Amino acid sequence: MPILIQYWFKEFARFFLIIQTIVMAIFISVDYLTNIDKFLKSGISLVSGLGYVLLKTPFMFVQLTPAGAVLAVVTVFGIMNRNNELLAIKSSGITTSYIVMPAICTGICLALLMFFLGETLVPITMAKANYIKYSVIKKNRNLYAVRENIWIKGDMSISHFKYFNPRDKTISGITITFFDSDFKVSKRVDAQSGKFEQDIERLKNLEISYNDEELKEKIKLKSGLWILTGVLEQTFDRKINDFVIKEYEQKELDLELKPDDLKAIVKKSDEMDFRELASHISKVEGEGYDATTYKVDLFGKTAFPFICVIMSIIGSAAGMRRFVKENLAFGIAIGIGASFFYWIVYGFSTSLGYARVLPPFVSAWATNFLFLCLAVIYILNTE
């Protein structure tokens, strides 16, 4: 590897690590201090609270990497510009494209790193962080908004759950409506809560009558049973042409689904890797539901990391400008402004995708295409 390229990579790595470390330290400090009162109210120790904040650092590292990249590139080229190193390099016959190539390669490497973290570490840590946030810190609230008002369409039934807790496999606010062959309501079951049980001995202790063989057969067929509590059952009786109402303290009911099915429904996009999200989209669409939001997020998983390449080009162009030689801070401001402007346009574009104004792929990649064109024009006009 040429000495010039080695020198550039060394300087970039130094400034990038410094910038990322400072930014992440600020994020951890601010997030921790602003949540101390919530930790104390919910009974979480300050050490555990710090662990909760640290769980979000992989996600924030990925989100802040493009900004760190553009600032580091601007700083490296700005210092080289101030020290007349760029002038000496160009005087020796080296072209601008050759000088920018290390920055582009670095952007590609950072994009791959972002995608790798987004596929491995981020889904795991965000799932844990979201669980702590909504089920531990906010004890009396639903796990999170997307886990409210879940609708499931069965073969001859429609189920509605206000809340699902994947941690203990419980559902709350249950309403299940059954239909006959003529699609008329044959039965409706309302229940306060339900729990998925797989342990035979625990099921035996419930106030439901089973003989051992029946119980084992049901568990064998369903890998467990849903036990509902606070049940109000309304069954249509054709003889009297009216509904018969019965109440049960506990009742076993076949809901035609398992906790794993509900987990797939309620997971947020940042808790799933690319393959899992693609599989979830296929499942949602197969059940007849709209998966536009998930599609936008799926394409966003590949589109967002690519911004590192674009920001590296913009940072190179800004750092090599003549005015940066005298005013490096202005070049850094350009980098910050470019990152901020990208976030605005990207957020607006994806919102159009969520609203189905733009196709999912276009909404996720349109911002990259726009900024790539601007970056290429900017670098071509670099002196």
Query: Based on the domain organization, do 368 and 256 belong to the same domain?
Result: no
- Mean pLDDT for the stretch of residues 47-72: 91
Same domain, 118 and 197: no
Report the chain's terminal Cα–Cα distance, integer Å.
Answer: 26
Query: Is 50 exceeded by the pLDDT of residue 141?
Result: no
- Looking at residue 146, what is its pLDDT? 42
Q: Please give the share of the chain, as a percent, with pLDDT higher than 70.
A: 82
Are 21 and 123 in the same domain?
A: yes
Same domain for 365 and 326, yes or no, is: yes
More confident residue, 383 or 358: 358
Q: Which of these three, 267, 302, 331, is where a domain ends?
A: 267
If we measure between CA atoms, which residue out of 302, 301, 375 comes closest to residue 335?
A: 375
Q: Are the CB atoms for 316 and 103 separated by under 8 Å?
A: yes
Asked whether residue 272 is assigned to any structural domain, the reply reads no
pLDDT tens track for 156-166: 788 888 766 65
What is the mean pLDDT of the segment spanning 77-86?
88
Query: What percent of the chain shows pLDDT beyond 90?
Result: 27
Cα–Cα distance between 298 and 244 in angstroms, integer?
A: 47
Q: What is the pLDDT of residue 305?
A: 92
Residue 278 lies in a domain: no
Per-residue confidence band for 236, with pLDDT thresholds at 50, 70 and 90 = confident
Question: Quick one: three-class SS letters along the chain?
Answer: CCHHHHHHHHHHHHHHHHHHHHHHHHHHHHHHHHHHHHHHHHCCCHHHHHHHHHHCHHHHHHHHHHHHHHHHHHHHHHHHHHCCHHHHHHHCCCCHHHHHHHHHHHHHHHHHHHHHHHHCHHHHHHHHHHHHHHHHHCCCCCCCHHHEEEEEECCCEEEEEEEEECCCCEEEEEEEEEECCCCCEEEEEEEEEEEEECCHHHHHCCCCCCCHHHHHHHHHHHCCEEEEEEEEEEEEECCCCEEEEEEEEEEEECCCCCHHHHHHHHCCHHHCCHHHHHHHHHHHHHCCCCCHHHHHHHHHHHHCCCHHHHHHHHHHHHHCCHHHHCCHHHHHHHHHHHHHHHHHHHHHHHHHHHCCCCCHHHHHHHHHHHHHHHHHHHHHCCC
**Domain assignment of residue 146, yes or no:** no
The answer to whether residues 163 and 122 belong to one domain is: no
Those residues whose C-beta lies under 8 Å from the C-beta of residue 9, and which sit 6 or more positions away, are: 102, 106
Looking at residues 91-106, what average pLDDT do you find? 85
The backbone region for 195, taken as left when phi is positive above 0, alpha when psi lies in -120 to 50, beta otherwise, is: beta
Domain, as residue range, for 85: 3-135+287-380
In a domain, 182, yes or no: yes
The answer on 118 and 167 residing in a single domain is no
59 lies in some domain: yes
What is the chain's alpha carbon radius of gyration, rounded to the nearest angstrom?
28
pLDDT at 206: 55
When pLDDT is cut at 50, 70 and 90, the band that residue 367 belongs to is very high
> Which pLDDT does position 308 carry in this prediction?
92
In a shared domain, residues 160 and 244: yes
Q: What is the pTM of this model?
A: 0.67
Instruction: Over range 3-28, report the average pLDDT.
Output: 91
Query: pLDDT: is 287 or 329 the higher one?
Result: 329
Number of domains in the chain: 2
Interval 194-228: pLDDT, tens: 888 765 555 555 555 555 555 555 554 455 678 88
Instruction: Using the predicted structure, report yes or no on whether residue 343 has a pLDDT greater than 50.
Output: yes
- Compute the distance between CA of residue 99 and CA of residue 73 in angstroms, rounded to an integer: 12
Q: Quick check: 140 pLDDT over 80?
A: no
Q: Of the spans 91-105, 240-254, 295-309, which averages the highest pLDDT?
A: 295-309
Q: Residue range 56-68: average pLDDT?
A: 91
> Does any domain span residue 338?
yes
**Side chain identity, residue 2:** P
> For position 224, what pLDDT does the model report?
63
pLDDT of residue 229: 87
Instruction: Please tell me the predicted confidence (pLDDT) of residue 204.
Output: 53
Cα of 204 vs its chain's centroid, Å: 40
Assess if residue 140 is contained within a domain: no
Tokens found for residue 206: 């419930």
pLDDT reading at 189 higher than 80: yes
For residue 364, pLDDT over 90 is answered with: yes
Among 34-48, 159-173, 353-367, top mean pLDDT goes to 353-367
Last residue of a domain, one of 235, 267, 299: 267
Pick the last residue of a domain from 232, 267, 302: 267
Q: How far is CA 119 from CA 60, 63, 156, 375, in A?
A: 14, 14, 37, 28
For residues 162 and 149, is the Cβ–Cβ distance under 8 A? yes
Question: What whole-number distance in Å separates Cα of residue 61 and Cα of residue 21?
Answer: 10
Residue among 70, 135, 146, 150 at smallest CA distance from 319: 70
* pLDDT for residue 128 is more than 80: yes
Mean pLDDT of 43-60: 88
Which pLDDT belongs to residue 200?
54
Nearest-CA neighbor of 259 among 191, 177, 173, 194?
194
- 277-317 pLDDT, tens digit per residue, is 888 788 767 756 567 888 898 999 999 999 999 999 999 98
Same domain, 210 and 262: yes
The predicted model gives 35-54 an average pLDDT of 85
Q: Could you tell me if 155 and 126 lie in one domain?
A: no
CA distances from 328 to 78, 200, 377 (A): 6, 70, 21
Min mean pLDDT across 119-123, 227-231, 250-254, 302-306 is at 250-254
Mean pLDDT on 55-84: 91
Q: Which of 306, 309, 302, 308 is nearest to 361 (CA)?
A: 302
- Determine the Cα–Cα distance for residues 189 and 254; give it in Å rounded to an integer: 11
| pLDDT recorded at residue 142 | 36
User: Do 70 and 157 share a domain, yes or no?
Assistant: no
User: 14 and 125 in one domain?
Assistant: yes
Does residue 109 register a pLDDT over 80? yes
Q: What angle do CA 242, 248, 254 make, to 5 degrees?
A: 85
| Residue 362 CA to its chain's centroid (Å) | 19
Only one residue has tokens 């670095």, namely 106
The answer to whether position 145 is within a domain reads no
Mean model confidence pLDDT for the chain: 81
Minimum mean pLDDT among 43-52, 101-110, 112-121: which range?
A: 43-52
- 303 shares its domain with 252: no
Residue 178 to residue 192: CA distance in whole angstroms: 18
